């Protein structure tokens, strides 16, 4: 009996509960397990392994010929454990082949685990199978073990749990593959079960706020009800944890800084419904009392308190306090005062020095530190755009004081170039407090911004119209003669080249070309633009005698940035010449059908541009005042050839404001005015440079050079006109005004296709004479729409507008209609 106990003891010590160490039956001197003895390994063999390298397996054991081991002992046990740790062995038996003196010969008899040849899914659709293929880590040839199966089961259950299938069952069976030895096919059968929704949310302990108010603070955890019809009501553990924190953040923002969640539980209501119970302890509501400043020398207490904007008696809100101290995206904050003057290393630590009842006294402990100077500016990611094009836009230059406003302004101006994805422009100040300097790292991601247009449409009386256009927005004339830079065109220097051809065979052709150099001379932001165009209109013979209008023109513009009133302003001066040749062309004025008209005009435009993102602006404004003047010919000659030299003065004002309401929800308000005047009160305002209002603003197929087309959604193209003389409708109005309110929501910020939806209200009118002009007599409309901006094609969009007023003389006009926009914003 004693001998048996000793044998069992040494078997456990050697770790042989799942393996056997046996003596060879032919061995003359069997091992005495009651007397451990040291041996020298004389040889090691591996048996039972058909697909594994024996030498590699022996190496894994850690044993080698010549090693001294104790039998029985831990050496063999550890070797077995090392083999098991590889996950490729199903079972191990260790036997003693023979013993010769003090040498022992061992044989490891292995049973290999099967390997995976393939796996199949059942019970789910094809898209779900494809999604799981990307998530699970099953690979052909991989050993099938318990860890692999458990990991696969967990991934599948988590995948369906995210989709509200909390009862999903996964059954995996292995069957031998008849084509491959020691291989199995893994059949994965999935029963998703019903979707599990949140049936009820019960909040307990709340007195200051209603259940409904608190439930609204949770963004992803919603109860299934009629009120939340469009909510998914899925339960996701990670989102639920985030929403609990949002609940506490809301309490904190309302002054309940001690609010806590005492307990919460998730319980089953039925197979497809679960409930959530959250118990809160609101605590007391706190208010600000005294706020003092300590350590500030640059700005006095009164000024800092004014910038902070928190008054005695305001509800205590630590999140709002931190925002007003460090970074306030919608207004100024205290740290901006310091950082815009170079004090990058400053810090402000708000300390609660006294809490009495429901009142809190704060002491703002200010460390101003030294001013930081910019040392190095590093730019990365520009694979196409030349570095000098980026550097000339920088407002953070080496040797200058650091300014946070300059940093943000630089990011906006890099985004305005259109060469980079605005969502991924990175700016990282790297402070070097030891020497009082800061390095700035800008990172950009190039995106395609050249545009090609191939389109066709129906142009009213002239029939089908085809358009071919090419715009190179980052062209380089400097690289033009270097054949290696044609990939496919020389680019990277920020110049703009635009070519466009629009034609309908004989009856309509239009050709235009323009070139812009934004930095003329390369030293200052002075722009030069040269444009040429030619347009020919013909009316078919079946409309009485053939008529023709031939227009040729050119313009040159010079622009520069201003520093006053602030450095967001630009001014542009241009001179243009157009020559109109009319041959029996009756589509303008009945008293002007034949002859030649010349137009020499001088255009001066003052603009201000401060929006943060040209593709999807969220804040900022865009203002423009333009004055277009011709020489006052009528003051020096009679009215006999009144159309030989066109004269007018044209004033236009456009304003657009963007306000970020919440997240990516943006309100855009716009106002547009245009007035066409004359120098001589007895002269007639001609048919040129007039306004046409209505529709998409694209001209409806009757586009005439020298006419402004303005959209008004919900109405037919060019249909809105206020005047006593219906004959002027075709020529257009001489004054218009339009107002727009547009609510936008970003859907996709992808640089490949930026997509947003919108809802709008707008109103406008177009007047044939100043006698009829009434700025408050407006035709109104409302509707919804969407925009897609793709760098290769520009802006694409559609709107459905519903007119709210009837236009005189158009009793059969549609009430609602679609409008399509290509390549431009609605004005």
Q: Looking at residue 242, which CATH number applies to its domain?
A: 3.10.20.310
- Cβ-contact 418, 473 below 8 angstroms: yes
**pLDDT 10s digits, 343-400:** 999 999 999 999 999 999 999 999 999 999 999 999 999 999 999 999 999 999 999 9
Q: How confident is the model at residue 33 (pLDDT cuts 50, 70, 90)?
A: low
Do 9 and 87 reside in the same domain of the chain? yes
Structure tokens at 472: 């190179």
| Element of type H or E holding 135 | helix 126-135
Q: Are residues 619 and 689 in the same domain?
A: yes
The span from the CA of 126 to the CA of 45, in Å, is 49
Task: Identify the pLDDT of residue 79.
Answer: 80
Which is nearest to 403 in space by CA: 340, 480, 310?
A: 340
- Section 639-649 average pLDDT: 76
Least confident of 97-111, 120-134, 346-360, 490-504: 97-111
Do 249 and 301 lie in one domain? The reply is no
Residues 137 and 238 in one domain: no
Same domain? 746 vs 644: yes
Is 490 inside a domain boundary?
A: no
Mean predicted confidence (pLDDT) in 334-351: 94
- Write the pLDDT tens digit of every residue in 647-675: 899 999 999 999 999 888 999 999 999 99
pLDDT band at 1 (very low <50, low <70, confident <90, very high): very low
How confident is residue 235, by pLDDT bands cut at 50, 70 and 90? confident
Residue 750 and residue 629 share a domain:
yes
Q: Which two tokens stand for residue 443?
A: 């990172």
Q: Which of 418, 443, 468 is the last residue of a domain?
A: 443
> Residue 243 has which token pair?
């929403």
Q: Is the dihedral of CA 504, 506, 508, 513 positive or negative?
A: positive
Range of 481-490, 679-688, 811-820 with top mean pLDDT: 481-490
pTM: 0.71
Given 326, 341, 367, which residue is the final one in a domain?
A: 367
Instruction: Tell me which of 824 and 299 has the higher pLDDT.
Output: 299
Q: Give me the mean pLDDT over the 271-290 stretch.
A: 94
Say if 730 falls within a structural domain: yes
Handedness of CA 807, 811, 812, 816 (dihedral sign): positive
- pLDDT at residue 318 greater than cutoff 80: yes
Tell whether 543 is covered by a domain.
Answer: no
The answer as to whether 217 is a domain residue is yes
- Under DSSP, is residue 82 helix (H, G, I), strand (E, B) or coil? helix
CA–CA gap between residue 32 and residue 74 (Å, rounded): 16
Residue 108 lies in a domain: yes
Reported as a pLDDT band with limits 50, 70 and 90, residue 541 is: low
In sequence order, which residues have a C-beta less than 8 Å from that of residue 564 and are 6 or more positions away? none
Q: Which residues contact 190 (CB under 8 A, 6 or more apart)?
A: 121, 122, 123, 124, 156, 160, 168, 169, 170, 171
* Band (24; pLDDT cuts 50, 70, 90): very low
Sequence-separated (6 or more) residues with CB below 8 Å from residue 553: 532, 533, 534, 576, 577, 578, 579, 599, 705
pLDDT digits (tens, 9 = 90+) for 148-158: 888 899 999 98
Q: Which pLDDT value is given to residue 41?
A: 83
Domains in the chain: how many in total?
A: 6
Question: Looking at residue 15, what is its pLDDT?
Answer: 40
Mean pLDDT score, 505-527 = 90
741-748 mean pLDDT: 95
Query: Predicted confidence band at 823 (pLDDT cuts at 50, 70, 90)?
Result: low
Which pairing describes strands 665-677 and 649-662: parallel, antiparallel, or unpaired?
A: antiparallel
For residue 314, what pLDDT is reported? 95
Q: Is the pLDDT of residue 11 over 80?
A: no
- Stretch 165-194: mean pLDDT: 87
* Per-residue confidence (pLDDT) for residue 827, from 0 to 100: 43
- Final residue belonging to a domain, choices 332, 367, 402: 367
Please report whether residue 213 resides in a domain: yes
Q: In this structure, are 656 and 610 located in the same domain?
A: yes
Contact assessment for residue 301 and residue 334, using Cβ atoms and an 8 Å cutoff: no
Highest mean pLDDT among 21-30, 638-647, 672-681, 787-796: 672-681
pLDDT score at 709: 87
Tell me the C-alpha distance between 714 and 783, whole Å. Answer: 8
- Least confident interval from 3-12, 430-439, 459-468, 502-511: 3-12
Given a cut of 60, whether residue 639 has pLDDT beyond it is no
Query: What is the CATH classification number for the domain harbouring 634?
Result: 2.40.160.50
Is the per-residue pLDDT at 5 higher than 50? no
Q: Which residues contact 218 (CB under 8 A, 6 or more apart)?
A: 201, 243, 244, 246, 247
More confidently predicted of 212 and 142: 212
H-helix or E-strand spanning residue 128: helix 126-135
Give the pLDDT of residue 502. 82
Domain that holds residue 310: 287-367
Give the mean model confidence (pLDDT) for residues 796-823: 85
Beta strand ranges found along 444-507 (DSSP E): 451-458, 464-475, 495-503
Domain match, 178 and 100 both: no
Domain check: are 140 and 23 in the same one? no
Measured between alpha carbons, how far is 706 from 817 in angstroms, rounded to an integer? 27
Give the single-character DSSP code of 113.
Answer: P
Residue 119 tokens read as 């796996």
Structure confidence at residue 462 as a pLDDT band (50, 70, 90): low
Alpha helices in 291-365 (DSSP H): 301-308, 318-326, 334-339
Give the pLDDT of residue 296: 94
Q: What is the pLDDT of residue 21?
A: 41
Looking at the fold, whether 172 and 220 belong to one and the same domain comes out as no
Nearest of 418, 411, 389 to residue 795 by alpha carbon: 418
Estimate the share of the chain in helix, then strand, then coil, as percent rounded to the nearest 5. Answer: 15, 45, 40
Assess whether pLDDT exceeds 90 at residue 93.
Answer: no
Q: Is residue 702 part of a domain?
A: yes
For residues 706 and 794, state if they share a domain. yes
Task: Choose the weakest-confidence range: 293-297, 423-427, 543-547, 647-651.
Answer: 543-547
Task: Give the distance from CA 579 to its chain's centroid.
Answer: 46
Q: What is the pLDDT of residue 587?
A: 64
Q: What is the overall mean pLDDT for the chain?
A: 85
C-alpha distance across the termini of the chain, in Å: 103
Helix H or strand E segment including 7? helix 2-13
Model pLDDT, residue 8: 43
618 with 722, same domain? Answer: yes
- CA-to-CA dists, residue 512 to 451, 471, 506, angstroms: 15, 11, 18
With CA atoms as reference, report the closest residue to 287 among 355, 353, 350, 207: 355
| DSSP string for 248-301 | HHHHHHTT-TT-EEEEEEEEEEETTEEEEEEEEE-----EEEEEEEES--SS-H
Tokens 């006009």 locate to 813
Weakest mean pLDDT among 137-146, 586-595, 768-777: 586-595
pLDDT-derived band at 225 (thresholds 50, 70, 90) equals: confident
Tell me which of 380 and 643 has the higher pLDDT: 380
Within-domain flag for 336? yes
Give yes or no for residue 293 having a pLDDT over 90.
yes
Give CA–CA dist 152/716, Å, rounded: 60
């Amino acid at each position: 009996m004693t001998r048996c106990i000793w044998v069992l003891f040494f078997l456990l010590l050697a770790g042989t509960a799942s393996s056997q160490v046996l003596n060879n039956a032919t061995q003359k001197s069997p091992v005495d397990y009651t007397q451990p003895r040291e041996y020298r390994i004389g040889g090691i063999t591996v048996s039972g392994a058909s697909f594994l390298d024996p030498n590699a397996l022996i190496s894994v054991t850690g044993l080698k010929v010549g090693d001294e081991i104790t039998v029985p002992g831990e050496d063999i046990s550890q070797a077995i454990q090392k083999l098991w740790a590889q996950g490729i062995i199903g079972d191990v038996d260790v036997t003693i082949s023979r013993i010769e003196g003090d040498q022992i010969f061992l044989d490891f008899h292995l049973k290999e685990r099967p390997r995976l040849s393939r796996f199949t899914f059942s019970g789910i659709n094809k898209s779900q199978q494809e999604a799981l293929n990307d998530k699970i880590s099953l690979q052909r040839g991989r050993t099938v073990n318990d860890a692999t199966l458990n990991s696969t089961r967990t991934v599948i259950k988590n995948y369906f749990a995210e989709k509200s299938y909390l009862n999903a069952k996964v059954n995996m069976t292995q069957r031998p593959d008849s084509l491959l030895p020691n291989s199995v096919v893994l059949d994965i059968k999935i029963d998703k079960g019903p979707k599990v929704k949140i049936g009820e949310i019960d909040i307990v302990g709340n007195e200051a706020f209603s259940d409904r108010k608190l439930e609204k603070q949770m963004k992803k955890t919603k109860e299934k009800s009629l009120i939340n019809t469009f909510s998914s009501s899925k339960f996701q553990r990670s989102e639920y944890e985030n929403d609990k924190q949002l609940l506490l953040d809301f309490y904190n923002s309302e002054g309940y800084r001690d609010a806590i969640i005492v307990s919460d539980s998730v319980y089953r209501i039925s197979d497809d419904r679960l409930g959530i119970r959250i118990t809160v302890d609101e605590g007391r509501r706190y208010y600000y009392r005294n706020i003092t400043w300590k350590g500030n020398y640059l700005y006095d207490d009164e000024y800092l308190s004014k910038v902070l904007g928190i008054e005695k008696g305001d509800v205590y809100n630590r999140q709002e306090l931190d925002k007003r101290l460090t970074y306030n995206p919608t207004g100024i904050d205290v740290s901006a005062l310091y950082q815009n003057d170079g004090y990058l290393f400053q810090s402000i630590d708000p300390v609660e020095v006294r809490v009495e009842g429901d009142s809190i006294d704060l002491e703002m402990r200010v460390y101003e530190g030294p001013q930081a100077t910019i040392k190095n500016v590093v730019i990365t990611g520009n694979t196409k755009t030349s570095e000098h094009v980026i550097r000339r836009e920088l407002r953070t230059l080496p040797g200058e004081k650091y300014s946070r406003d300059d940093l943000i302004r630089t990011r906006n101006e890099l985004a305005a170039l259109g060469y980079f994805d605005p969502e991924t422009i990175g700016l990282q100040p790297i402070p070097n407090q030891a020497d009082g300097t800061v390095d700035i790292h800008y990172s950009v991601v190039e995106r395609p911004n050249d545009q090609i247009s191939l389109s066709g449409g129906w142009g009213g009386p002239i029939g089908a119209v085809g358009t071919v256009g090419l715009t190179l927005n980052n062209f380089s004339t400097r690289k033009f003669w270097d054949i290696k830079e044609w990939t496919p065109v020389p680019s990277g220097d920020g110049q703009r080249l635009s070519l466009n051809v629009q034609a309908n065979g004989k009856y309509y052709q239009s050709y235009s070309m323009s070139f812009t150099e934004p930095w003329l001379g390369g030293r200052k932001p002075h722009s030069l633009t040269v444009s040429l165009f030619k347009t020919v209109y013909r009316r078919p013979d079946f409309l009485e005698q053939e008529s023709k209008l031939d227009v040729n023109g050119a313009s040159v513009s010079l622009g520069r940035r201003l520093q006053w009133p602030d450095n967001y302003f630009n001014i542009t001066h241009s001179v243009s010449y157009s020559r109109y040749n009319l041959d029996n062309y009756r589509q303008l004025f009945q008293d002007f059908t034949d002859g030649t008209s010349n137009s020499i005009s001088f255009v001066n435009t003052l603009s201000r541009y401060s929006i943060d993102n040209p593709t999807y602006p969220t804040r900022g404004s865009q203002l423009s005042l333009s004055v277009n003047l011709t020489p006052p010919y009528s003051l020096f000659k009679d009215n006999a050839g009144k159309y030989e030299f066109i004269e007018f003065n044209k004033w236009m004002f456009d304003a657009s404001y963007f306000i970020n309401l919440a997240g990516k929800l943006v309100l855009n308000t716009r106002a547009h005015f245009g007035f066409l005047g004359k120098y001589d009160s007895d002269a007639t305002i001609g048919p040129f440079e007039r306004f046409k209002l209505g529709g998409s603003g694209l001209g409806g197929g009757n586009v005439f050079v020298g006419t402004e087309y303005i959209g008004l959604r919900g109405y037919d193209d060019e249909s809105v006109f206020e005047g006593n003389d219906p004959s002027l409708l075709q020529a257009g109005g001489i004054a218009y005004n339009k107002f727009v309110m547009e609510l936008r929501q970003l859907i996709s910020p992808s640089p490949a296709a930026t997509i947003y939806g919108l809802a709008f209200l707008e109103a406008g009118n177009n007047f044939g004479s100043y006698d009829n002009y009434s700025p408050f007599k407006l035709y109104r409309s409302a509707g919804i729409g969407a925009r897609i901006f793709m760098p290769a094609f520009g802006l694409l969009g559609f709107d459905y507008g519903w007119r709210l007023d009837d236009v005189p003389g158009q009793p059969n006009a549609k009430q609602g209609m679609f409008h399509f926009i290509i390549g431009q914003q609605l004005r």
